[in-house]
Amino acid sequence: MVLNPVISKLAGKLVVLASASPRRQEILRNAGLRFEVVPSWFKETLDKGLFKAPHEYAVETAKQKALEVARRMPFKHLKTPDIVIGADTIVAVNNMILEKPVDKQDAYRMLSSLSGKEHSVFTGVAIVLCHDKDNQEVDYQMMAFYEETKVKFADLSEDMLWEYINSGEPMDKAGGYGIQALGGMLVEYVHGDFLNVVGFPLNHFCKQLDFIYNHSSSFAVEKKGSAHPLPNGSLGTSILDQHGLQKSYEAEKHRSPDSSSPKLTQHIQNTSTNSPAHKVKRTSYESGVGSRSRVSNSSKHNDGESCRITPLNRRQETEQSGTENQPQTQDLKRICELMDGFKASKALFTASRFCVFDLLHNKPGLDAAQVAEEIKASVKGTECLLEACVSLGLLKIKDKAHPKSLFENTELATSFLRSEAPFSLHGYIQHCSETLWPLYSHLESAVKEGVSQHQRVKRQKELCQDSVCSSQELKLRFMNGMHSFAKITASAVATAFDLSRFKTACDLGGCTGAMAYELVKAHPGMSVTVFDLPAVVEMREHFLDHNADNKVSFVAGDFLEDELPKADLYILARVLHDLTDEKLHILLSKIAQTASPGCGLLLSEIFLDEDRGGPSRGLLQALSLSEGKQRSASEYKLLLERHGFITAHIRHTGHLLDVMLSVKA
Ligand SMILES: C[S@@+](CC[C@H](N)C(=O)[O-])C[C@H]1O[C@@H](n2cnc3c(N)ncnc32)[C@H](O)[C@@H]1O
């Protein structure tokens, strides 16, 4: 793709975003970057007084976040990333740094200090390149930069301030506002990169990548194992122009504690005690991580960790003796990751089932025994579960100096795993656990027989007299699953294209109406009919959004048999992949008969790569062997053309679903 030649340089590399911020993730995904999210455990507690200017604090925090993840992953995740991206956004007014408010009063203090004034939003970004070396060490190189955007707030009345604070939006945002949502109403003007205010300066980031990959001989960016030989010490210094835009680059080769950046070394030593700052020997991670004090205070935790890495250490000893080589280590790690994948899923399902993330949201800082009492489970089992969740980045330890491990949610859990979070995946996780998990546990039979194992799972449940769920409960569970997934994806689908010319839409298989509500929000002139099976429509009251009641209506029917409502735009979101070719043609021909020329068809699915080599999410979903199949964008395009719909636009959103807009010829 011509637009993102730099992003495409990262294809095939293990890119890690050391941030749980959904906004950063969305910006990078929309740019087409594929990456894993490993939230940093680095606490944003650097002494602000040490920094001459606010942006220095943001850059240093970004560096520490990225380095913490880069150093942790080879041990905790058993893989070395190629690139780790860290970022920190702060708001500065009158040379004072504002981070995230801790409570409503703090939000009030921040927002009133911004009222009627211009302030600066700084995002510091650090890019850490990791290089596995033959002797089990990892070398790190770092580039860091920042971007400044000026924002002016209107004069805010007390009523406005409190209405905004009571919306709950300020709480997880630097400076106490989110410009991309309600907070946008407070802003008079923005000078500079808008995305920087949202949380990530995409344009500057791409320029820095371009520098690393296309113009610098100082960065070892070739394939692992063929890195340039690297000189010792610093590779460069940061040169800032008076607008705060970093014209040159700051690149540090992190090889020894006497690195040329005294401040960096000082902070690394604050957090990582006595290990060399940027050259980590895998077998010595235990004594070098930031959580060292907690490890030594909690012998159980320590034991658990030792057990887990012992087999790998043995393997490394063999490798160091020269009988194995580096690529095999990587392969082993990849295989371990695949073998252990189900354990991680099941830990997530179980914690979610016990509502651990709701509990720790309401009562942060409980220890394992307290959690066990609340969820009515054994202390030993709960402790294992909580520690596993910490290792997966879902929970964190509240006070590392405390003799007991006190648990609290990470940002990731707060954003996606609480059942009341606006983008909660709780319902979908339960759907995965209760519906999909049993199906996939019969995968062998599914592959042999080539059909879905729904019937087998049902029979088995009946035999075990396990079917305590009524059909109503099952239906509600399914709808909860669809609803929580759709709430996450609907906004990207609804805004992928300009749909303002369509005044009426019909969402076929629209389930709970999650997409319909998002569409009328994004396109105020539009009204939407949700068309779904009677059994689904009769449950709609559980999911109604009363803010848009008059724009969204529900019609019960079977889209393969009944007459379809008339509309300017038809929506098929996650419907076609579940249909046989025969049913798909029946549905498309019914839409074609009802639609007038110029009508639109918005299709949303995972589009497989044209060579069917990915993405894994689509190919793994196909293993449930539903009646339908997963297709590429050009396969869908051809199917639609057969029914007179000409594809106008295709968008690989880089989000969970891709989108295609076609128009009836
Ligand atoms: C995988 S869900 C997708 C739901 C929703 N479009 C979304 O994106 O979240 C498929 C939906 O199609 C509906 N559906 C399946 N067969 C149908 C039919 N013959 N007539 C109407 N709706 C149907 C199901 O009830 C379900 O709500």
Q: Whose CA is nearest to atom 5 of ligand 1?
A: 510
Banded model confidence at residue 232, pLDDT cuts 50, 70, 90: very low
Q: Are 618 and 630 in contact (CB under 8 A)?
A: yes
How far, in Å, CA of 577 to CA of 590, rounded? 17
Which residues, including other chains, have CB under 8 Å from residue 446's CB and lie 6 or more apart? 439, 452, 453, 623, 624, 625
ipTM above 0.95, yes or no: yes
Pocket test for ligand 1, best of 511, 560, 653 (most atoms within 8 A of CB): 511
- For the segment 427-436, the average pLDDT, to the nearest whole number, is 95
Nearest CA to ligand 1 atom 23: 509
pLDDT band, residue 252 (cuts 50/70/90):
very low
- Write down the pLDDT at residue 545: 86
Q: Which fold has domain 329-421?
A: Arc Repressor Mutant, subunit A (1.10.10)
| 7-93+122-146+197-322: CATH topology | Maf protein (3.90.950)
pLDDT of residue 326: 56
pLDDT at 58 over 90: yes
Query: In which band, very low, low, confident or very high, does the pLDDT at 45 lie, cut at 50, 70 and 90?
Result: confident
H-state helical runs in 495-525: 514-522
Asked if pLDDT for residue 52 goes beyond 90, the answer is: no
536 pocket-lining for ligand 1 (C-beta < 6 Å): yes
Report pLDDT for 466.
Answer: 54
Instruction: Provide the pairing of β-strand 96-98 with 137-153.
Output: unpaired
What are the C-alpha distances in Å from 544 to residues 537, 540, 556?
Answer: 11, 6, 16
5: left (phi over 0), alpha (psi -120 to 50) or beta: alpha
- Does 532 sit in the ligand 1 pocket, CB within 6 Å? yes
Confidence of residue 289 (pLDDT cuts 50, 70, 90): very low
Residue 244 pLDDT > 80? no
Question: What is the whole-number distance in angstroms between the Cα of residue 632 and the centre of ligand 1?
Answer: 20
pLDDT of residue 330: 66
Percentage, residues of the chain above pLDDT 70: 80
The residue with greater pLDDT, 593 or 1, is 593
Average per-residue pLDDT for the chain? 81
Q: What average pLDDT score do residues 532-541 get?
A: 95
Give the residue from 467, 534, 524, 455 showing the smallest Cα distance to 495.
Answer: 524
Give the pLDDT confidence score for residue 595 in this predicted structure.
Answer: 97
Q: Is 573 in the pocket of ligand 1 (CB under 6 A)?
A: yes
Q: What is the arithmetic mean of pLDDT over 516-523?
A: 94
> Would the pLDDT of 606 be above 70?
yes
What does the pLDDT average to over 38-64?
Answer: 88
> For ligand 1, is residue 221 a contact (CB within 6 Å)?
no
Which pLDDT tens digit goes with each residue over 471-512? 888 899 999 999 999 999 998 899 888 899 999 999 999 999
Tokens of 651: 């968008």
Percent of the chain scored above 90 by pLDDT? 54
512 alpha carbon – ligand 1 mean position (Å): 9
Place of tokens 């035999």: 463
Per-residue pLDDT at 513: 96
- Domain ranges within the chain, ordered by starting residue: 7-93+122-146+197-322, 329-421, 477-664
List all residues 6 or more positions away from 300 whose beta carbon is below 8 Å from its beta carbon: 383
Whether 584 is in the pocket of ligand 1, judged by its Cβ within 6 Å, is no
What band does 240 get if pLDDT is binned at 50, 70 and 90?
very low
CATH code for the domain defined by 477-664: 3.40.50.150
Is it the case that residue 54 has pLDDT exceeding 70? yes
pTM for the model stands at: 0.57
Q: What is the pLDDT of residue 338?
A: 92
Which residue, among 21, 6, 13, has the nearest Cα to 423 in the 3D structure?
21
- 406 band by pLDDT with thresholds 50, 70 and 90: very high
For the question of residue 88 being annotated catalytic, the response is yes
- Mean pLDDT calculated for residue range 145-153: 94
